[in-house]
Amino acid sequence: MRSLSYTGYVAATLALRAAAQSYDTIPPIEVHGQHFFYTNNGSQFYMKGVAYQQNYSPNGTASANASYTDPLADASTCSRDIPYLKQLYTNVIRVYAIDPTLNHDDCMEQLASADIYVVADLGEPGTSIQSNDPEWDVTLYKRYTSVVDTLSKYKNVIGFFAGNENVSSDNQTSAAAFVKAAVRDTKSYISSQGYRTTLGVGYATADVPARNDLAAYFACEPADSGNSTAIDFWGYNVYSWCGNSSYSDSSYGERVEFFRDYPVPVFFAEYGCIVGIDGGPTHRPFTEVEVLYGNMTDVFSGGIVYEYFMGANDYGLVSIDGDSVSPYPDFTSLRNQLASIDPTITQSSAYTPSNTPPACPTVGSDWEAEASPLPPSVNPQLCACAVSDLECNIESTDEEKYADVFNYICAADSKYCDGIAHNATTGTYGTYGGCDAKDQLAWAANQYYIGNSRSSSACDFSGLATIQKAATASGCASLLSAAGTEGTGTVPSPTGRGTAAVGTGSPAASSSSKGVAPGMATPGLFDYGGVVFGVYVVIAMVSMVGMFAL
């Protein structure tokens, strides 16, 4: 069916803007125990949400060539779509990537006027924690904190996802350690900047074999660390209810029982199966809505339907043609289902949380991430300090050539690479493992140079490296002292503004960098314990032959 005219859009938008709410006055949503609540009156908040980002497929990978359109930076698009979102009783949207250099005031004001909140993912296509090659480094830290800086002022932002479906199989579970480190550092950053305490940080998982261990891992707190590393909420991307399924056939009941004792809110971060639907993908009946907002509400806090825009994957609720919006039949089905729900509302004053953090999973054949320690906090200033203090530095920015040098140095003596090690399975991390690839290589090259009596030939590597005069910059002495000469010490978390933090000694690189140390972020000696040392040495020794010939 066709939409209202564009004049109708404008009129509806103006009516919404006439409401009293703005992003300054809308009551923030807070986490209290296993539920969300409005901060102004203590009423429970259930998510009635829609995923809102066009032509974007979040899947735990990174592509430096991928582009995206910020859904919160185009005021006219927001004006066009908000009346339709309100037809779906929407009170929250999920956005997967925003551009922190753009202005979001207009869209966020429109959303607030319509009583719509936002949950935002922190990554973007070229900068995210990869499933098969995970890191938590300076580039990612700056991306994440810049999104926090940009959205923190809007009181209709509930919080952020530090990762989405980063673990989709048992051999990717080590990636969870790097996502949890991102959760910890993002929470710490929010606190250090004095941003709202109601801003939460969570994780969204697919319905994967490791889901139970994942849920326990992200909510557990080893060594009485308070809630500094635990997620604030858990998003579940679930597509098991297809067509006219049931509570039992969809396994919704099993999920309710599993999360009954979970310590933080749980909600469907994505739902809306299109498989086997009579009439095709655009005819979803959304019969799960009655159950999600019925007998599941004592555990689940609602959900977010995937998705508003029609794309190549056929999940869209509407078709867009310029200023024209054409809802599909499942738009009507969803609207009608949501119109009929009446979930029980609890007041925060009448609710006393009793659930406690679960036990952390242990490393075994199906779980590869040690609970403690996590990768060290990323400190951009430390990386910059270290590079200026080196006697042998990497000059080349050709990351394609880094791998052989990493292999050569680390195989020559593993101690040269202790400072950049990151092994999630053993919990072995170097202080500089969070620096970008060029700075990690510079650290290792300097260790090799010192270990070889500072011979000029020990700082060349086919012209990639150069000897420089070491200089301890102002404010660096204490950081370098804490890191130690072997690069295995503990350095304080940064306290400065993420987007204005001291830069690294090299230009920012994509988290999908091909130059990262082999064996540092791929199976090998210094990675996740998946490959024996001998295999690593064979690879490295081949590179050593080439290096000796240079």
Residues marked as catalytic? 165, 270
Q: Residues with Cβ < 8 Å from 129, sequence gap 6 or more?
A: 60, 62, 123, 135, 136, 140, 162, 163, 166, 175, 178, 179, 182, 511
Q: Residues with Cβ < 8 Å from 505, sequence gap 6 or more?
A: 383, 384, 386, 387, 388, 393, 438, 439, 442
Tokens at 105, concatenated: 């005031």
Length of the chain: 550
Residue 236 amino acid letter? Y
Q: Tell me, what DSSP letter sits at residue 407?
A: H
Q: Residues with Cβ < 8 Å from 14, sequence gap 6 or more?
A: none
What is the widest separation between alpha-carbon atoms in the chain? Answer: 77
Strands 157-164 and 200-206: parallel
CB 85 within 8 A of CB 127: no
* Gap between the Cα atoms of 267 and 239, Å rounded: 13
Buried b (16+ CB within 10 A) or exposed e, 84-109: bbebbebbbbbbbbbbbeeebebbbb
Q: Residues with Cβ < 8 Å from 331, sequence gap 6 or more?
A: 84, 87, 88, 317, 318
**Residue 348, SS3 per DSSP:** helix
Beta bridge partners of 118: 93, 157
**Residue 90, SS3 per DSSP:** coil
Cis peptide upstream of residue 486 (ω within 30 degrees of 0): no
Q: Which stretch of DSSP H or E encloses residue 7? A: helix 6-17
User: 3-state SS of 481-543?
Assistant: HHHCCCCCCCCCCCCCCHHHCCCCCCCCCCCCCCCCCCCCCCCCCCCCCCCCHHHHHHHHHHH
Q: What angle do CA 105, 148, 431 make, to 5 degrees?
A: 160
Nearest to 149 by CA among 102, 91, 115: 102
* Gap between the Cα atoms of 456 and 286, Å rounded: 69
Torsion of CA 394, 400, 403, 404, to 10 degrees: -90
Beta bridge partners of 157: 118
Tokens at 494, concatenated: 């940064």
φ, ψ (nearest 5 deg) of residue 380: -55, -35
